[in-house]
Structures are given as structure tokens and as C-alpha cells.
Chains A and B, each alone.
Chain A
Amino acid sequence: MTFRVHVRVVPRPGLLDPQGQAVAHALAALGFPGVGEVRVGRAIELELEADDRATAEAAATAMCERLLANPVTEDFTVAVEG
């Protein structure tokens, strides 16, 4: 069956994230109060044909380790829908 997989990749905590800082400054400049640290990553959605949910999750995790995230600088989460 076809699963919809949501992959979320974010910069490792502790790594300088200039993009996040720029967004935090922009939000402050727009007058949004209370915004603390902002980190910008990327979301990847993919359709995946697999026998079951666990297989889909394992495959997506392997994709993250191999290509979608850089283990040196990024953390990822995988969520399988359906």
C-alpha cells in the first residue's frame, strides 16, 4: 500500500543557525512578542509504496541516514501517515 511519509530535518542543537536567527529578528521586527530561539530546517513529504507501516518507516529512516539528512549537522524525525 501507499504511505505518505513526513520527514522533518532540523539543524542540530548548539549549531549556529543563521537562517533561524534572521527569521527570529524579522519576527521581532514585525512586532510578534515572545519569540525565543528559531531554528529553520526542511520538511520532505514523500509517497512510499510498502507492505506495511513499519517497513515504510524503516525505509524512510534509511533514506534519512543515507541522503535526506546530514548526520554531522542535522537531526531528523520520520512520521508515517495512513
Chain B
Amino acid sequence: MLTIHYKLINAMISQALSDHPIETCGIIAGPAGSSLPLRLIPMKNIAQSEIFFKFDPQQQLCVWKEMEARNEEPIVIYHSHTGSQAYPSRADIELAMEPQAHYVIIPTIHLNQEEVRSFRIIDQMVIEEKIRIVRQYQPELELQMVA
């Protein structure tokens, strides 16, 4: 299950709608091993495509080094599907390289919070998981949140 603050869900939806019809993408970093999404980092889709996304490699290096320095990892890796349902495509499955991550897909057609879905993708196996949207984190964690 992915437990996530509603502000982070809203920020992902807002970014996806703003980028529509181009696929949006990004990560939410959090403490390594915690499963707690805290810092939302929009990533540049270098493909600038309606049907494909790829993180800008230079920005990715920069963000990954920053996470390493802060003892964080990508808790959520998100992207939008701008013309199809929120289920991992073959490309999503084949290219999923972070077994600990929650892969969140935001469909920008028929969109509401319930349409956002989350998956674990491990060794090309897809398992959908429930998203529990919470109104608040503990106060000290809310201070660290970037949404």
C-alpha cells in the first residue's frame, strides 16, 4: 500500500494536467527504506512526447546525487498517461528499474483522485496496490514535505 499526503497527490495531478497532452514525470523522494513520500521533484521529460517519457539524464544524475547525500531514495516514481488508462504499459514494465519504488500513473482523461493508481513492478511482475490518501503527516514530517 502507498500512504501519501493529499497535497502530493494534488501536486502530481496539477503537473500532469499542466503538461497534458505531453506525458509528465517525476519522483517523490523520502528517507531510504521508509516508504514515506516527502519531497516531490518534477522531472523534465526529455522525450516531450504524448506517448513516452524519459527523465532528462543530466537532471536525473543531479537529483540522484542529492538523494544519496540526504540518505533518500525515490519512494514514488510517477508519470501520466494522456490518452489511455492508468495501467503500466509494456514499456513501463520493461523499463522499471527501482524495485523498492511505488510506480504511480496519473491518467489525464477522466481524472479525479480515485483514478490515480499505484503499482509495484519487480522483475517485470506488476502488482497493483491500494493508495491511502491522508490529510496530514506527523507535524515534523509535514515541515519536510515539498509538494
Q: Do A and B come from one complex?
A: no
A residues near B, CB below 8 A? none
